[in-house]
């Protein structure tokens, strides 16, 4: 059974499931180099089919995630193209006249002539751009999406099945890990197919939708606060989360009530206490006299408290204590940490990259779930958990060799082959910053060693070096460690034994981490978003850290993704070399090649 999962909205992606196992997954942005790329992920599909030598006729089903896609967001590639100024322009020219002046501006007229935008040219948008989020237009557009996929893949339309957005999220969250217990599946996000928040039960692998709401604006409140603080909505929420721990209680208290007055938990739903005309201008008006850190701190506290109240209410009503959480809001790792600190829930399980990039995988899971039901076969046996996220592109040694010759790299750099991990570890121990582009690329938000920048986690000075000379990162944002599994408990408090293999959860740290890993934990609250690494996960990366431990006594490295600010993570040697040449990265490893700047 071969299922190709496709997500064609923001941060589009493809996934391949063969006989119940996810064998490939990648975001399109890694190929086109536009962060949060939109549309049919043609390049990722090609790489996927090449990697597994699959031809169209061998695909049993194309599982397409999301029924209702807004053609206006799609053609403008809104989340991918918009700068902060464009988001403000949208507020001023589109939303403000609608909410405050009783007008109905034409969205397409505002944005159709932006020269810098790379508009989607794959789908047919004729006559569906006349009004914003018009259901009829979205239904016409769905048929066109199906027609295009059928033509591009040369696959019968009957083989293309569309799955509801929320179903893709909950199936992904539930089937990702082996731990499949009776529990509650909750989604929370900007907007899905029919909700912003949904609650389903899962009992004996059967899902039942219990409640949903369009008024659950937790995600939108976070999104528009991000814009209010001068950052990109739908992208930089993690920066607001990173800023929050710096706020004092005094500043938080000044802002908290504005948030608290907006939403309330009502049984299984979250909805408005008192509905403002719109969120952005309401917050702007209320925070005229507030400090930026207080706003971030209050927002994060509000989110944590509201999610806790909501989940607790669901848990009490449905009498279940396992919670599977997905959707954009579930990517807030600090809220997840807070929820897991509560004894009221056995566990709040959140899969890696729980936002929309993973719904191509979720669509495969949902398809297989339905297949098992139809055929009366065991879901637990047939639907395999995901044990590795090294699911993407791999450099071929031929391509690497050709690139070195074509770009005459040997004239510029010291190039060596098959440099041993103890020699690389020694360089890191001596203060060098190393880029690593080896093996298959990770799926999702986090670099797990194969597309990473690595350095010694013991020195705070390394933060400054990476922030200013390599990644142009914001000064307040924390880095993360990869920790050998045998040393994990020395540094991290993980009382609920949550999975920490994929950097998808935050944890409190122990005292020793504040010394040994000081550059790789949050400087304000000492939390960490670690990757726990065992030999089976990634042997060569494991060996590198093991060698570093022999020199330093510390079984961990600082690990951040191999990219420059605002660009997608590197995929191939060309991208990796771009980072190397446009930053002060000291060393780059690509497969078995070693590059060092000849200073
Ligand atoms: Fe979503």
**What's the gap in Å between 170 CA and the centre of ligand 1?**
10
**Claim to verify: residue 206 and residue 158 sit in the same structural domain:** no
Domain membership of residue 469 (yes or no) is: yes
Measure 414 CA to ligand 1 centroid, in angstroms: 46
Residue 173 falls inside a structural domain: no
Whole-number Å distance, alpha carbon 314 to ligand 1 midpoint, is 20
Say what the pLDDT of residue 598 is. 78
* 41 plus 56 within the same structural domain: yes
Asked whether residue 228 falls in the same domain as residue 286, the answer is: yes
Report residue 2's pLDDT band, with 50, 70 and 90 as the boundaries. very high
Residue 456 DSSP label: -
User: What is the pLDDT at residue 138?
Assistant: 97
Q: How far apart are CA 204 and CA 215, in angstroms?
A: 30
Distance 409 CA to ligand 1 centre (A): 43
Q: Residues with Cβ < 8 Å from 115, sequence gap 6 or more?
A: none
Report how far Cα 75 is from the mean position of its chain's Cα atoms. 22
> How far, in Å, from the CA of 251 to the mean position of ligand 1?
32
Share of the chain above pLDDT 70, in %: 100
Tell how far the Cα of 539 is from the centroid of ligand 1, in angstroms: 34
Same-domain check for residues 283 and 376: no
Residue 480 near residue 541, CB atoms below 8 Å: no
Encoded tokens for 101? 């002046």
pLDDT tier, 336 (very low <50, low <70, confident <90, very high otherwise): very high
Q: Which of 292, 322, 350 is the last residue of a domain?
A: 350
What distance in Å separates the CA atoms of residue 55 and residue 41, rounded to the nearest whole number? Answer: 16
213 Cα–ligand 1 center, Å: 14
Position 234 pLDDT exceeds 70:
yes
Ligand 1 mean position, distance from CA 470 (Å): 32
CA 13 to centroid of ligand 1, rounded, Å: 13
How many A from CA of 9 to the centre of ligand 1? Answer: 10
Cα 542–Cα 543–Cα 546 angle in degrees, nearest 5: 90
- What's the gap in Å between 166 CA and the centre of ligand 1? 7
CA 187 / ligand 1 centre spacing (Å): 8
Least trusted range by pLDDT, from 5-9, 12-16, 265-269, 471-475: 471-475
Mean pLDDT of 232-254: 97
What is the extent of the structural domain holding 328? 178-350
Q: How far is the CA of 195 from the centre of ligand 1 (A)?
A: 10
Mean pLDDT computed over 193-214: 97
Residue 271: exposure state from Cβ atoms within 10 A (0-12, 13-18, ≥19): middle
In a domain, 315, yes or no: yes
Q: How far apart are CA 46 and CA 467, in angstroms?
A: 35
Residue 331 lies in a domain: yes
Q: Ligand 1 center to residue 328 CA distance, Å? A: 6
Q: What is the spatial distance between Cα 308 and Cα 103, in angstroms, rounded to a whole number? A: 39
Give the distance (Å) from ligand 1 centre to CA of residue 396: 34
Q: Are residues 365 and 224 in the same domain?
A: no
CA of 360 to the centre of ligand 1 (A): 11
Number of domains the chain contains = 3
Rounded to the nearest integer, the mean pLDDT of the chain is: 97
Distance 189 CA to ligand 1 centre (A): 6
Q: Ligand 1: distance of its center to the CA of 79 in Å?
A: 13
Q: Looking at the predicted structure, is the pLDDT value of residue 258 above 70?
A: yes
* Percent of the chain with pLDDT strictly greater than 90: 97
User: What does the alpha-carbon distance between residue 26 and residue 407 come to, in Å, rounded to a whole number?
Assistant: 27
Cβ neighbours, 10 Å, residue 301? 22
The alpha carbon of 291 and the centre of ligand 1 are apart by a number of angstroms equal to 31
> Do 314 and 382 share a domain, yes or no?
no
- How many A from CA of 173 to the centre of ligand 1? 12
Cβ neighbour number for residue 290 with a 10 Å cutoff: 16
For residues 417 and 545, state if they share a domain.
yes
On whether residue 355 sits in a domain, the answer given is: no
The last residue of one of the domains, among 387, 406, 434, is: 387
306 with 404, same domain? no
**Would you say residue 116 has pLDDT above 80?**
yes
Give 590's strand partners. Answer: 437, 593
CA 196 to ligand 1 center in whole angstroms: 9
How remote is the CA of residue 198 from the centroid of ligand 1, in Å?
11
Helix (H, G, I), strand (E, B) or coil at 61: strand
What is the distance in A from the centroid of ligand 1 to the CA of 220?
12
The length of the chain in residues reads: 599
pLDDT band at 468 (very low <50, low <70, confident <90, very high): confident
Q: What does the DSSP 8-state code read for residue 330?
A: G
Give the distance (Å) from ligand 1 centre to CA of residue 163: 12
Tell which residue, 369, 387, 392, 388, has the closest CA to residue 379: 369
CA of 452 to the centre of ligand 1 (A): 27
CA-CA distance, 509 to 489, in Å (whole number)?
9
Question: 18 CA to middle of ligand 1, Å?
Answer: 24
Give 524's DSSP letter.
T
Residue 472 pLDDT greater than 90, yes or no? no
CA distance 332 to 426: 36
Question: Would residue 366 count as lying in a domain?
Answer: yes
CA of 366 to the centre of ligand 1 (A): 15
Alpha helices by DSSP H, 261-390: 279-286, 292-318, 333-340, 359-375, 379-382
Shared domain for 373 and 330, answered yes or no, is: no
Asked if the structure places residue 364 within a domain, the reply is: yes
- Distance, CA 578 to ligand 1 centroid (Å)? 32
CA of 17 to the centre of ligand 1 (A): 20
3-state secondary structure 248-270: CHHHHHHHHHHHHCCEEEECCEE
Give the Å distance between the CA of 361 and the centre of ligand 1.
13
Whether 599 has a pLDDT exceeding 80, the answer reads no
Measured in Å, residue 514 CA sits from the centre of ligand 1 at 35
Q: Which pair of structure tokens corresponds to residue 500?
A: 């920490």
Shared domain check, 457 and 337: no
- Residue 46 CA to ligand 1 center (angstroms) comes to 24
Tokens representing 427? 């360089």
Q: How far, in Å, from the CA of 547 to the mean position of ligand 1?
A: 41
339-397 pLDDT, tens per residue? 999 999 999 999 999 999 999 999 999 999 999 999 999 999 999 999 999 999 999 99
* Cα–Cα distance measured from residue 73 to residue 82, given in angstroms and rounded to the nearest whole number: 10
Residue 48: phi and psi, rounded to 5, are -60, -50
Q: How far is the CA of 11 from the centre of ligand 1 (A)?
A: 11
Q: Are 226 and 232 in contact (CB under 8 A)?
A: yes
Residue-wise over 303-327: b if at least 16 C-beta within 10 A, else e?
A: bbbbbbebbebbbeebebbbbbbbb
Q: What spacing in Å lies between the alpha carbon of 190 and ligand 1's midpoint?
A: 7
CATH number of the domain at 246, please: 3.30.420.40
Determine the pLDDT at residue 102: 95
Distance 327 CA to ligand 1 centre (A): 5
d(CA 465, CA 500): 27
Mean pLDDT along residues 490-512: 97
66 CA from centroid of ligand 1 (Å)? 9
Q: From the CA of 26, how far away is ligand 1's center (Å)?
A: 17
Which CATH number fits the domain that encloses residue 454?
3.90.870.20
DSSP category for residue 570: P
In a domain, 288, yes or no: yes
- Same domain as 294, residue 203: yes
* pLDDT class of 191 with cuts at 50, 70, 90: very high
Q: Distance from the CA of 357 to the center of ligand 1, in angstroms?
A: 8
Torsion over CA of 53, 55, 56 and 60, rounded to 10 degrees? -60
How many A from CA of 355 to the centre of ligand 1?
6
Q: Are 403 and 314 contained in the same domain?
A: no
* Beta strand 413-417 pairing with 587-590: unpaired
């Amino acid at each position: 059974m071969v299922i190709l999962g496709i997500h064609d909205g923001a941060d589009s992606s493809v996934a391949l499931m063969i006989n119940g196992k996810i064998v490939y997954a990648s975001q399109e942005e890694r190929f086109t180099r536009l962060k949060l790329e939109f549309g049919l992920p043609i390049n990722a599909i090609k790489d996927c089919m090449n990697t597994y030598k699959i031809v169209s006729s061998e695909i049993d089903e194309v599982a397409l995630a999301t029924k209702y896609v807004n053609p206006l967001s799609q053609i403008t590639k809104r989340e991918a193209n918009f700068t902060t100024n464009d988001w403000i322009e949208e507020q001023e020219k589109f939303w403000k006249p609608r909410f405050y002046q009783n007008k109905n501006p034409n969205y397409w007229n505002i944005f159709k002539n932006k020269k810098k935008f790379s508009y989607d040219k794959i789908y047919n948008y004729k006559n569906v751009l006349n009004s914003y989020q018009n259901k009829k237009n979205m239904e016409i557009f769905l048929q066109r999406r199906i027609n295009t996929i059928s033509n591009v893949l040369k696959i019968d339309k009957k083989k293309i099945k569309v799955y509801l957005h929320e179903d893709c999220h909950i199936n992904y969250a539930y089937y990702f890990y082996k731990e499949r217990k009776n529990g509650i599946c909750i989604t929370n996000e900007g907007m899905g197919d029919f909700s912003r928040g949904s609650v389903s039960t899962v009992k004996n692998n059967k899902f039942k939708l219990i409640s949903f709401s369009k008024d659950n604006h937790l995600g939108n409140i976070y999104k528009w606060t991000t814009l209010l603080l001068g950052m990109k909505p739908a992208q930089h929420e993690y920066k607001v989360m990173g800023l929050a721990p710096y706020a004092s209680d005094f500043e938080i208290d000044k802002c908290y009530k504005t948030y608290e007055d907006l939403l309330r938990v009502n049984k299984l739903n979250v909805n408005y206490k008192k509905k403002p005309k719109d969120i952005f201008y309401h917050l702007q008006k209320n925070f005229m006299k507030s400090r930026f850190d207080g706003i971030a701190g209050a927002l994060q506290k509000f989110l944590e408290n509201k999610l806790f109240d909501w989940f607790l209410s669901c848990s009490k009503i449905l009498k279940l204590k396992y919670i599977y959480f997905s959707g954009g809001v579930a990517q807030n790792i600090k809220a997840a940490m807070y929820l897991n600190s509560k004894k009221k829930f056995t566990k709040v399980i959140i899969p890696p990259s729980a936002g929309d990039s993973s719904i191509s995988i979720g669509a495969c899971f949902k398809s297989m779930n339905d297949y098992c039901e139809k055929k009366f076969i065991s879901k637990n046996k047939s639907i395999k958990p995901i044990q590795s996220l090294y699911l993407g592109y791999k450099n071929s040694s031929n391509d690497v060799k050709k690139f070195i010759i074509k770009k005459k790299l040997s004239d510029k750099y010291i190039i060596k082959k098959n440099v041993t991990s103890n020699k690389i570890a020694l360089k890191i121990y001596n203060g060098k910053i190393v880029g690593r582009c080896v093996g298959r690329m990770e799926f999702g938000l986090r670099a797990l060693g194969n597309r990473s920048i690595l350095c010694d986690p013991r020195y705070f000075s390394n933060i400054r070096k990476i922030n200013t000379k390599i990644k142009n990162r914001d000064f307040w944002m924390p880095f993360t460690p990869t920790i050998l599994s045998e040393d994990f408990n020395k540094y991290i408090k993980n009382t609920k034994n949550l999975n920490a293999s994929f950097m998808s959860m935050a944890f409190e740290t122990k005292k020793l981490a504040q010394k040994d890993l000081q550059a790789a934990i949050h400087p304000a609250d000492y939390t960490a978003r670690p990757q726990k690494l065992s030999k089976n996960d990634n042997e060569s990366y494991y060996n590198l850290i093991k060698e570093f431990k022999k020199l330093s006594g510390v079984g961990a490295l600082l690990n951040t993704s191999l990219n420059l600010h605002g660009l997608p993570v590197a995929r191939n040697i060309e991208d990796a070399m771009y980072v190397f040449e446009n930053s002060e990265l000291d060393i780059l490893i690509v497969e078995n090649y070693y590059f060092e700047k000849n200073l």
